[in-house]
Amino acid sequence: MSVGTVFVATLADDTRLGEILPKVSTDSVASLLNVMASSMLVIATFAVGSMVSAYSSASNTATPRSFKLVIADDISQNALSTFIGAFIFSVVALMAVKNQFFGDAALFILFAIMVVVFGIVILTFVRWVDRVARLGRLGTTIEIVERATQQSIQRWHKAPLLGGLPVRFEPPMGRAVLAASAGYVQHVNVAALQSCAKKADGSILVAALPGSLAAPGRALAYFIPGPYGLGAFDHDAVMDCFAIGNGRTFFDDPQFGFVVLAEIADRALSPGVNDPGTAIEVLGAMERLLVLWSSPPPEESPKDQDRVQVPEPSVQRLFDDAFTPIARDGAAAVEVGVRLQQTLRTLVHVGDARMREAALQHSRLALARAEGVLTLDEDLEALRATAPWHAETA
């Protein structure tokens, strides 16, 4: 684009714009381009250093699992691209100016373009400084993880059961499709599974949702032949519908967001950090996300994948991932215990029967852990008073 801009500017010399536009001296344009070239290289180097420092801070103060979200910050990436692009433009334009490549009209056009580029750089820099000042902070990391988890839950609501049908066969039956490698299921292509099931004249039951651990010998899916069984079952094609990677991702795996939030709270509750306020902030984020999780999905549309059965995510496993680390390592902090009981009390009233049961179970477990650590009767009474089962019997 920089080279193209230089050649486009020279087209003005073939017009009568030189008689209309004011004249700009070559030395002034060259001096400004020289200043921009030297400053943009310094700012780009400073931007890289600041971003690396913020990424390191996010990994060390929060959890390494949040690194992918922090490094994917669009504002920082766009700012660095803008600085490098402005540097390239100024170098290319400076070479052209020094070699008398422009006439009077083209020189003024180049000057106008340079002013526009300089304005973009200033606005980008101001916006980026505000962003990078927060990027490595713990509160910002929690917000980023919460936003990614919220988007994943909303995607699940838009396509409940990944667009498939509820499971009709318990326990799973049919021909098992086993994983060929070890890792985590990151994505399930339900539309491709529908195509495979149609070709084989049967149906497919998904056994491994995104976030599940895959390993050789573990079933990813089960093929259930139809009444006639006229089609040929393609085992490899079904296996290819499951993307397996080394780690879990946020996109199709809402539960992973709760794991990462729990890790942030768990690190804050460690004796070396001793920051119960962060754990309380994480519990607030979890409460908002689980209220969203329990909200009814939009009106159901006709299922396009009517030959694919998909199980419901385990609410019990979700609560185990989210609340067990906080209840275990925050048992000695009464303020964390009270906030945890308040969160579980909210979920008892907003969720369905499965969420209600899981919330009551974790409330009792958290109270039992606190009773084994706390020695002051007033602290234990404060916890019991906020427990959901106590509120119902009071």
Strands 183-188 and 242-245: antiparallel
What is the percentage of the chain residues whose pLDDT exceeds 70? Answer: 94
Is the predicted pLDDT of residue 313 greater than 60, yes or no? yes
What is the rounded CA–CA span in Å between residue 111 and residue 205? Answer: 65
Q: List, edge to edge, every strand of the sheet that includes 183-188.
A: 213-214, 183-188, 242-245
Residue among 274, 338, 339 nearest 266 (CA): 274
pTM: 0.82
pLDDT at 393: 47
pLDDT at 301: 55
Q: Which of 15-29, 193-207, 320-334 comes out lowest in average pLDDT?
A: 15-29
pLDDT at 364: 94
pLDDT at 295: 87
pLDDT at 302: 55
Mean pLDDT computed over every residue of the chain = 87
pLDDT at 179: 93
pLDDT at 242: 96
163 — pLDDT class (breaks 50, 70, 90) = confident
Is the predicted pLDDT of residue 391 greater than 60, yes or no? no
Average pLDDT on 17-33 reads: 80
Average pLDDT on 165-174 reads: 79
Specify the higher pLDDT residue, 94 or 102.
94
In the block, tokens 């100024």 appear at 90
In this structure, are residues 185 and 243 in contact, taking their beta carbons and an 8 Å threshold?
yes
pLDDT at 373: 92
Task: Tell me which range, 126-135, 305-314, 337-346, is most confidently predicted by mean pLDDT.
Answer: 337-346
**Spatial CB neighbours of 269, under 8 Å, sequence gap ≥ 6:** 275, 276, 279, 326, 329, 330, 333, 336
Task: Tell me which range, 168-177, 296-305, 323-332, is most confidently predicted by mean pLDDT.
Answer: 323-332
Q: Please give the structure tokens belonging to residue 168.
A: 């009709």
In the block, tokens 């100016």 appear at 97
**Which residue type occupies 18?**
G
What is the rounded CA–CA span in Å between residue 78 and residue 128? Answer: 9
pLDDT at 141: 87
How many angstroms separate the Cα of 80 from the Cα of each of 1, 35, 54, 75, 386? 17, 18, 14, 9, 49
pLDDT at 75: 81
Average pLDDT on 387-393 reads: 64
Q: Angle, nearest 10°, between helix axes 276-294 and 254-268?
A: 160
276 — pLDDT class (breaks 50, 70, 90) = very high
- Looking at the DSSP bridge assignments, the partners of residue 223 are 175, 204
127 — pLDDT class (breaks 50, 70, 90) = confident
The count of residues in the chain is 394
Is the predicted pLDDT of residue 278 greater than 90, yes or no? yes
**Which residue type occupies 394?**
A
Average pLDDT on 92-97 reads: 88
pLDDT in tens, 179-226: 999 999 999 999 999 999 999 888 999 999 999 999 998 999 999 888
Average pLDDT on 28-52 reads: 86
Specify the higher pLDDT residue, 37 or 243.
243
Asked: is 160-245 a CATH 3.90.1170.30 domain? The reply is: yes
Average pLDDT on 17-44 reads: 83
Average pLDDT on 333-356 reads: 92
What is the rounded CA–CA span in Å between residue 387 and residue 53? Answer: 42
pLDDT at 160: 87
